[in-house]
Amino acid sequence: MKPTFLLLFLLIGPILAPAQQPDRTEQLLQRLADAPGPPGFEEPVRALMAAELKPFVTVPIRYDGMGSLVAQQGATGPRIMIDAHMDELGGMIRRVTPNGFLTMQMLGGWLDQALVDQRWIIIGSKGPVHAVTGIRDIHVVPAEERTRVFSRDQMYLDVGAKDAQAVAALGISAGDPVVPDSPFLNLNGTGNYLAKAWDDRIGLAVLCEAMRRTASLPHANQLFYVATTQEEVGLRGARTAAQAVKPDIGIAIEGGIAGDTFGGHPEETQAKQGAGPGLFLYDSSTIANRKMVAFVRKTAADKSLPLQTDVVQGYGDDSAELQTAAGGAPTVNLVVPIRYTHAHNGIVNRKDFDQTVDLVVAMLLQLDAKTVEELRDFTPKP
């Protein structure tokens, strides 16, 4: 082979080589992450979850008045609620300006610096419409303003329209949902997956895989796999779903916060990506039940699974609603560590995900009536 052709082959060979085909679990993660579903507009995600869980239920799937999905497996024994939320950070169209730009009401906890110069998808009446958040050109921004954060109040969506009539022709109107435009990617074949919405599509995927496995394993429980709505705007779906399920035990599955990246303070979070599932001992909405914490730790140790514990401020999750349902339920929040949550591009690690599924399944198989009674017993010991 001549040197010129050898060099060309070395440059483009990896591009031409066939990519490794994603397995079933990776395909599931991609479908869930790519589906649009900001708070109040979870329909596409709900349809995906119904299709995934339907083969493994023992009674028909049902939905509460907030749109949360309840998939039940088993008809006797303790009532165990395994929860993850369907909604992602997003927005909705507030108004259309006469010159064809759009303003957006943000839904969920966005940082202003995560919003500018990003691509978005508006779900209009005629289908998806691509948009970009504008940003002032550096050539006209005064030097003293160039390092300042661009405020969301100054931000607009540009769909390429010349006026409000052109926007209407695209099928866009006030109230339409908006989601990040950030397709799923296996990041350079590393087993680290880059996508939007890992908070909390990674939790939904844990539900799907756990329910698939418990369907063929003996357990002594009524398992309620619940996909909730509107978590990002106040845990609203979890409140009504927990009222309906009335769990004896609650297990929330969430996206955690990986603290192994640049910047930040070591006390912000202790979790590391690739080091296994996490257990929140405290967040702004929940203090984990101490007996449940001990149960999780023992289960992980018995199964030789890694377990990270974390204490995080400025974080709320569905476990806050599960623990107050039906007179109170011992509850924990298990997490898959995520890099860059609440932004267009987050990263999860496949091994962390797989081990979280292993841990959840192991817990469910051990939660018999006697164990549940002990976890719920707060009688002072003599």
**182-198 pLDDT, tens digit each:** 999 999 999 999 999 99
Name the E strands within the chain: 62-63, 69-73, 79-85, 90-96, 101-107, 119-124, 127-133, 157-158, 177-180, 185-186, 192-195, 222-228, 249-257, 278-282, 308-311, 331-339, 346-349
Residue 41 within a domain:
yes
**Mean per-residue pLDDT for 106-124?**
94
Structure tokens at 347: 């990263």
Find the CATH number of the domain harbouring 124: 2.40.30.40
Shared-domain flag, residues 356 and 293: yes
Find the CATH number of the domain harbouring 242: 3.40.630.10
Shared-domain flag, residues 43 and 120: no
pLDDT at 65: 96
Q: pTM of the full predicted structure?
A: 0.91
Residue 122 has pLDDT above 70, yes or no: yes
Per the structure, the complete domain to which residue 354 belongs is given by: 18-88+196-375
Q: How many domains does the chain divide into?
A: 2
Shared-domain flag, residues 236 and 370: yes
pLDDT at 124: 96
- 267 in active site: no
Contact criterion met (CB below 8 Å) for 285 and 46: no
Give 10-22 pLDDT, tens digit per residue: 555 555 545 567 8
pLDDT at 9: 47
Mention every residue, 6+ apart, whose C-beta is less than 8 A from residue 226: 68, 69, 70, 71, 81, 82, 83, 84, 241, 245
Residue 186 within a domain:
no
Domain boundary among 155, 180, 205: 180
Give the whole-angstrom CA distance, residue 131 versus residue 230.
24
Percent of the chain with pLDDT over 90: 79
pLDDT at 373: 95
Residue 12 within a domain:
no
Which residue would you say has higher pLDDT here, 52 or 7?
Answer: 52
pLDDT at 316: 83
pLDDT at 264: 65
Shared-domain flag, residues 167 and 120: yes
Number of H helices, E strands in the chain: 10, 17
Shared-domain flag, residues 168 and 248: no
- For residue 122, give the DSSP letter: E
Which residue would you say has higher pLDDT here, 48 or 312?
Answer: 48
Shared-domain flag, residues 45 and 153: no
Active-site choice (26, 42, 231, 254): 231
